[in-house]
Copies of this chain bind each other. A is one copy, B any other.
Amino acid sequence: MPNPTAAMIVIGDEILSGRTRDSNMHFLANELTRTGIDLREVRFIADDRDAIITAVNALRQGVDHVFTSGGIGPTHDDITAEAIAAAFGLPIGVRDDAREILAAHYARSGTELNEARLRMARIPEGATLIDNPISAAPGFTLGNVHVMAGVPNIFQAMVASILPQLTGGQPLLSQSLRIPRGEGEIADPLGDLAARYPDLSIGSYPFVSNGAYGANIVIRGSDTARVEAAMLELAGIFPDHLRDA
């Protein structure tokens, strides 16, 4: 059975302007690979209602899961929840269970649950809440779309909350070999190897180290024996390799 598939949408002007460097995509990519879910595409878009609606509706049909990051806080530029509801054509409003979570959280710290904070209890109809152990305000899952915070430690905690519930496929195994030769020299034998192992993904990632060209060759697949067989052949073709790129 093929692995489940996923896409991600990272929402935020601050990333497109270069002010902030995103770390959520790299985190999620690793978590999904470990779980056996194939990440097919990631889109970075602005804090823009139409852009969010377009991206969500373009991606949610084609994959098993869509993960979003960003735009669910209490300020005027936090428009993700509204836009997701609109993408599904569903109403959104303050929901009792989400309000209770916030009320309990702010009561503990003696902070007022004002109107701005209450915006974080706005949840589209029919959505399931995603637990936020860091700052209480929940994310939510609507259909196959998982809507999470952009702040990295909260995003990571939310991913930890939902990933165990998603059916993973077979984790992809990968092995790599560091070859101290230019890609131009490696390309032909590597292409032959890839043709003999069509069930594996064989990638070549060039680098320059101390002025010398080299490439990390990564072989990925779900069958350990096949990955090892291909890696053994590769090591034989390039006896000057260095294990473990």
Contacts and interface: CB of A to CB of B under 8 A. Distances in A.
Given A17-B172, A33-B18, A186 B42 contact: no
A242 interface: no
A42 B41 contact: no
Interface stretch (A89-97, A202-210, A233-241): A202-210
Q: Is the interface of A mostly helix, strand, loop or mixed?
A: mixed
A75 B32 contact: no
A163 interface: no
A204 B77 contact: yes
Contacts of A29: 15-18
Contacts of A15: 29
A133 interface: no
A43 to B, nearest CB: 5
Interface stretch (A112-120, A122-130, A224-232): A112-120
A143 interface: no
Given A205-B14, A207-B151, A187 B75 contact: yes
A76 interface: yes
B47 A32 contact: no
A20 interface: yes
A218 B42 contact: no
B206 A73 contact: yes
Contacts of A17: 29, 33, 39, 172, 174, 220
A46 interface: yes
A187 B119 contact: yes
7 contacts: A40-B51, A41-B43, A75-B215, A76-B190, A76-B195, A116-B185, A116-B187
